[in-house]
Amino acid sequence: MKKRNTGLRSHCPVNFGLEAFGDRWTLLILRDIVFRGKRTYGDFLKSEEGFATNILASRLEGLIEEGILRRDAYATDGRKDLYTLTEKGLDLIPLLFEIVLWSAKYDPRSEARRIVRLVEHIRKDNRGLSRKIMEQVKRGEGILAGYLS
Amino acid sequence: MKKRNTGLRSHCPVNFGLEAFGDRWTLLILRDIVFRGKRTYGDFLKSEEGFATNILASRLEGLIEEGILRRDAYATDGRKDLYTLTEKGLDLIPLLFEIVLWSAKYDPRSEARRIVRLVEHIRKDNRGLSRKIMEQVKRGEGILAGYLS
DNA sequence: GTTATCACTTGCAAATTACAAGTGATAATT
DNA sequence: AATTATCACTTGTAATTTGCAAGTGATAAC
């Protein structure tokens, strides 16, 4: 007798988002992909916030289950896997950008200070910029490098 | 010898946001205030997702510590407290709206279907709408009632 | 004066997380 | 070809957090 729990507490749109990425780790994976161009388990593991290996594995699996990430074989190294954002995942970029905006405003030590041009661009046109960035991320490029002053 | 841990894993802007509201409950409180006009502990407790009393209390305290919420005495009933969003909290409305947008797109059962006009408005002008809504929320009004078709 | 409501706190079992130590597969080196 | 290193995990366990039930003290209503 399997307990088949969808985990869905409600279909309130805010809650739906929280069920998908409402924890302290999941969006860091997305950040690593979008801002830093990371693609492999080992890359994510190196993040400064310090993923525990089991947490990282479980979050990656969750993201794949939800259709936000896709896992493919790495072409030139059979040990590695390549994680790629789906359309559903790419559509979280505007949300990521809003977090950046808020933190840039309220964290006095924010590293957002090092990417003022990007922050300004987000503020003026989150949606438009997101569309451009989605294309960049599709090509596997992180966006941070090009914006560091 | 008190262990004074700021909890800050990094000053990456995405991480800063996650440290403030990166869990399955915190943003539901904000949703209740913004969309449903809730203001008291008892109101939040009635939410369909089912807060545990201790979790709700700890999240409210956390939000106050971070300066996102303010707690005041309820004017006409000494037993109640009134929770109000600060400017820092009101500035999370655009983020809340982005979550709504994403969930409206990807949850086939989303209750966002019942507020298509609002969703469309967010899509066209999140920032502009947010500014208007902030004023409404300051007056203690929830925005959902006016948009339900 | 008694009962009800409100905003919590407390205690405890269950679930989740963090940390350390593997494991099996593939790749690089000798 | 054999050995060592790297990679993406899994497993075990202790510590922390959550979820649930049952209070508690203050104020309000009757």
For position A108, what pLDDT does the model report? 96
Q: What is the DSSP secondary-structure string of chain B?
A: ------------HHHHHHHHH-SSSHHHHHHHHHHH---SHHHHHTSTT---HHHHHHHHHHHHHTTSEEEEE-TT-TT-EEEEE-HHHHTTHHHHHHHHHHHHHH-TT-GGGGGHHHHHHHHHHHHHHHHHHHHHHHTT--SSTTT--
- Looking at chain B, the whole-number percentage of residues with pLDDT higher than 70 is 95
Q: What are phi and psi of B140, to 5 degrees?
A: 85, 10
Q: Does the pLDDT value for residue A5 go beyond 90?
A: no
What does DSSP assign to residue A45?
H
- Work out how many CB contacts closer than 8 A connect A with B: 133
CB contact under 8 A, A31 and B14: yes
- Asked if the Cβ–Cβ distance from A99 to B95 is below 8 Å, we say yes
**Single-letter amino acid, residue B112:** A
Q: What is the mean pLDDT of chain B?
A: 94
